[in-house]
Structure 1
Amino acid sequence: MNTNFESTKKLLELSQRMKNIEVFLYISTAFTHTQKKVLVETVYPPPAKVEDIYKFIEENGDDEQATLKFINGQPNTYTFTKSLSEAYLSKHHGNVPAVIIRPSIVSATNQEPIPGWLDNWYGSTPFLMNASEGWLRIVRGNYNSGIDFIPVDFVTNLSIVAAAKAKRTNEVQVFHSTTSADNPTDWSDFKNYFLDEVVRRGKNDLPYPNIVFVESKIALAIGSFLMQTVPAHMLDLWLKITGKEPRYVKILAQVIRLRDSYEHFSSNDWIMRSDRTRQLHASLSPEDQEKFQCDPTQINWPEYLKDYCRGVLKYLKPRKMY
């Protein structure tokens, strides 16, 4: 609440005291209302009343089970408070033109400053690498489900264009920086281009990396034990026998913890429409369209996923993930 809601509220109040303010642009997330299967570029009602949230915090503190029940279907407190901030901005922006950008899973650059560049292990990158290196073998979800990636330079370009073209209106303009509706990709694309690129370059830690999707939690538990827990203990036993420090069980625990935190996203599928974003990009001159690429249909997935993989190996792999 302090990071996502109160800071937004204070910055909005500050901007309203600026005489020459041109636009208040808020970077949100496309996952603010995942209880809906089709998400459009509009502001949705807030998930709760602010006073009720603070009352809950006062009474329950950081009780995890109570919090999960209170956020009522939201994946986590991050998406919950971002949703709350959107609704507050929509209601209280006053005379300040306001724009909301909703990116999906932000990933490596498409073109700028160079293809495949990234500088952190945030988002889906560790999840993808764990699978590609052979650590992650089984996930709850559907192999044919889509993955809504968006290159970070597309988000940046959209933010610049949307801010430059912001209008003074009572309506908060919402733009999705997403791909699932207009240029979808799925887990099979990830395997064919990202995972296979890791293997082709010989950068997998364990042999024959692959990822299996299961629907039920029981199947996930059984599969995790047979496909991951047992092999990790056997490998650590071999390290002990040969006089080396065990490491596989420790790494696997971190991999499983990360996998479980992504379960809501790997086991669900959404269509996130980006009609207004595409219209905004189409309104630019040909020169600006080339300079400020933000239309998701421009992404070439086979080429992009290989660049993404190469970027991780070049810029992040030398640094430890765990």
Structure 2
Amino acid sequence: MSENMEDQFDTMADQFETIEVEDQFDTSKTDIQQFFEGQTLFITGGTGFLGKLLIEKLLRCCYSLKKIYVLVRNKKGKTQKERFEEIFEAECFDPLKKKYPNFLEKVDLVYGDCLLPDVGLSPESIEMIQKEVTTIFHIAATVRFDQHLKSAAFINVRSVRDLVRIAKDMPQLKAFLHCSTAFSFCPRSTILEEFYRPPLQSEKLLSLVDSLDDSTITEITPILLKDWPNSYVFTKAIAEGVVRTEGIGLPIAMVRPAIVTVSAREPVPGWIDNMYGVTGVVAGAAMGALRTMPAEPDNNAEFVPVDFVINNIIAAVWEVGKRGRVAEIDDDIPIYNYVLSPFYRVTWKQFFDLCYVSGMNYPTVKAIWYFCFSLRPNPIHHQLALFFLHTLPAHFTDFLMVCVGKKPVAVKSYQKVKKFLDVISYFARRNWAFGVVNVKKLMKRMSPEDREMFNFDLNTLDMNEIVSKGILGGRQYLVKDPLDTLPQARKKYFRLKIAHYALLTGILLVVVKIVFMMFRYFF
């Protein structure tokens, strides 16, 4: 046999071997991976915390999808293209970059803005989406609790309505996922996986905010909110009413996650990119800036790791798409309450006790004072703590800043902290009984391979591990303090500890002195 023929046979053998390996890989794909194969996805909220992790997970584990279109708006002087490129600079994309260096070929930018009608899409973009997209993930929302009601209504309510209406003209649509919140109907003590009557019909709210000026809306907002504590959960509840009525005729589902926090396992353990919710509390306490929080220590802390939330969202889309049928009545629209307490009960006190232990092990060199944080269920005790531990030190700090010719910022910062604590106290002072029947059923319907790859079983969590990784993650990704500063940070923290207890001793001596002098004067 000639060398040329041998080379040809070797080449053919290599080709057959490659085909065999590819076929073997294809057959090894899980049910969820097969579902997303060849699909074109449209994601809103891709620049946010949840959105980034969703994009990363879909590309890393379902790379055979065809395309992901990401809706991006202008913000803070940055163009949509700049914000789109910034998405992939986050550390959470590092594992994906190693696994699939050319992953950006599968992601495209779509210009839009959820504050605008039709989520800011151009007619050409709408036509493209209706023609090409097979699955929609509507993750975008304003999560600011103090957001002006007009903006909250447009972003959280109108965007849902308009996107659902766009989806009704999508012949290839397999699934539509709306991300809500477990606290959308927080005035209720029991929240099952079902629809409830919204506080206001969506069209009435949108007509109202369209017809009134901003100052008038601000004045009547407390009246409109009634039992709802802020514009975020209020508009999220109304948005669920939109899903209930407008979602008929679509393969649609809704996930209600609780307070979303750091990643537990993937793609980077402990990854976080924002100071919202409990993350801000932990970071503030670890820095020594936050010293009190109004909360019932024995109430449930409803935190869920962001990577588990993403897996639940992906699995919910798979189940809706697998059914292959549209919702004919609202009972056909599955709702998933993704909360911690029915699976793994952790109280606020237990959580912060774990944070204290990890914080002592991994202090940050950027700390401004020693840890002296406490949960205070009594409102009077909390207000006193605010005055003596926040307000007075802030005024003293600003006085020193002015004396050295610097701009005073402490009082203004602590005013924002107080506003934040007032908002979060509503959720830290209450308990809810959540139904999670659909979440449990979804886990059972998944194959063992999918349950491992897209794990959202909260029973598998190790809270000690999560808190430890979360403290390290916050240190690295939020405070921007690398681990190599740990020896220096521990020395500084020891000095802050000495200063803290020296100050307490000094204050105690002054108080004792004053009491002694008063005793001598009167007696």
TM (norm. structure 1) is 0.90
Picking from 208, 231, 234, the partner of 2:396 is 234
Answer with 131-140 or 172-181: which moved more: 131-140
Picking from 401, 409, 415, the partner of 1:253 is 415
Query: Partner of 2:204 in structure 1?
Result: 52
What CA distance in whole angstroms lies between the structure 1 residues aligned with 2:202 and 2:403? 58
Query: Partner of 1:280 in structure 2?
Result: 442
Answer with 244-253 or 190-199: which moved more: 244-253
Would you say the 8 A contact 2:291–2:374 is kept in 1? yes
Would you say the 8 A contact 1:179–1:274 is kept in 2? no
Query: Partner of 1:310 in structure 2?
Result: 472
- Cα shift at 1:45: 1.5
Q: Structure 1 pair 90/245, CA: closer, same or farther in 2 (3 Å)? A: closer
Q: Deviations over 1:265-319 (max 9, x none)?
A: 2222223232321221122121111111112222211111111111111111129
Q: Deviations over 1:120-166 (max 9, x none)?
A: 22332112211232222222221112211111111111111111111
Q: Structure 1 pair 251/51, CA: closer, same or farther in 2 (3 Å)? A: closer
Q: Aligned residue pairs: how many?
A: 318
For the pair 1:108 / 2:262, whether they are aligned, the reply is yes
Answer with 207-216 or 99-108: which moved more: 207-216
For the pair 1:202 / 2:363, whether they are aligned, the reply is yes
What CA distance in whole angstroms lies between the structure 2 residues aligned with 1:308 and 1:188? 17
Answer with 113-122 or 245-254: which moved more: 245-254
For the pair 1:160 / 2:317, whether they are aligned, the reply is no
What CA distance in whole angstroms lies between the structure 2 residues aligned with 1:146 and 1:86? 25
Query: Partner of 1:146 in structure 2?
Result: 300
Query: Partner of 2:183 in structure 1?
Result: 31
Q: Structure 1 pair 230/283, CA: closer, same or farther in 2 (3 Å)? A: same
- Cα shift at 1:77: 1.5
Larger Rg: 2
For the pair 1:132 / 2:286, whether they are aligned, the reply is yes
Picking from 416, 430, 451, the partner of 1:289 is 451
What code does the residue aligned with 1:138 have? T
Q: Structure 1 pair 132/271, CA: closer, same or farther in 2 (3 Å)? A: farther
Q: Deviations over 1:52-81 (max 9, x none)?
A: 324543357444352122112112122112
What CA distance in whole angstroms lies between the structure 1 residues aligned with 2:206 and 2:451? 45
Picking from 187, 200, 207, the partner of 2:348 is 187
- Cα shift at 1:102: 0.5
Partner SS, residue 277 of structure 2: coil
Would you say the 8 A contact 2:377–2:429 is kept in 1? no
**TM-align CA RMSD:** 2.2
Gaps of 5+ in 1: none
Query: Partner of 2:375 in structure 1?
Result: 212
Aligned pairs (5 A) from 1:64-143: 64-143=218-297
Q: Structure 1 pair 197/309, CA: closer, same or farther in 2 (3 Å)? A: same
Q: Structure 1 pair 220/22, CA: closer, same or farther in 2 (3 Å)? A: same
Would you say the 8 A contact 2:202–2:242 is kept in 1? no
What CA distance in whole angstroms lies between the structure 2 residues aligned with 1:97 and 1:195? 45
What code does the residue aligned with 1:296 have? L
Partner SS, residue 256 of structure 2: strand
For the pair 1:13 / 2:165, whether they are aligned, the reply is yes
Picking from 444, 450, 462, the partner of 1:300 is 462
What CA distance in whole angstroms lies between the structure 1 residues aligned with 2:460 and 2:174? 29
Aligned pairs (5 A) from 1:164-175: 164-166=318-320, 167=323, 168=325, 169-170=327-328, 171-175=332-336
- Cα shift at 1:103: 0.6
Q: Structure 1 pair 207/241, CA: closer, same or farther in 2 (3 Å)? A: farther
What code does the residue aligned with 1:135 have? A
Answer with 100-109 or 58-67: which moved more: 58-67
Q: Structure 1 pair 236/93, CA: closer, same or farther in 2 (3 Å)? A: closer
- Cα shift at 1:235: 4.0
Would you say the 8 A contact 1:141–1:267 is kept in 2? yes
Picking from 338, 342, 345, the partner of 1:177 is 338
- Cα shift at 1:97: 1.3
- Cα shift at 1:82: 1.5
Answer with 260-269 or 60-69: which moved more: 60-69
Would you say the 8 A contact 2:181–2:236 is kept in 1? yes
What CA distance in whole angstroms lies between the structure 2 residues aligned with 1:238 and 1:119? 32
Q: Structure 1 pair 162/249, CA: closer, same or farther in 2 (3 Å)? A: same
Answer with 263-272 or 231-240: which moved more: 231-240
Q: Structure 1 pair 123/219, CA: closer, same or farther in 2 (3 Å)? A: closer
Answer with 2-11 or 50-59: which moved more: 50-59
Q: Structure 1 pair 43/254, CA: closer, same or farther in 2 (3 Å)? A: same
What CA distance in whole angstroms lies between the structure 1 residues aligned with 2:439 and 2:276? 24
What CA distance in whole angstroms lies between the structure 1 residues aligned with 2:166 and 2:411? 50
- Cα shift at 1:248: 3.6
Query: Partner of 1:42 in structure 2?
Result: 194
What code does the residue aligned with 1:50 have? S
- Cα shift at 1:51: 4.1
- Cα shift at 1:231: 2.8
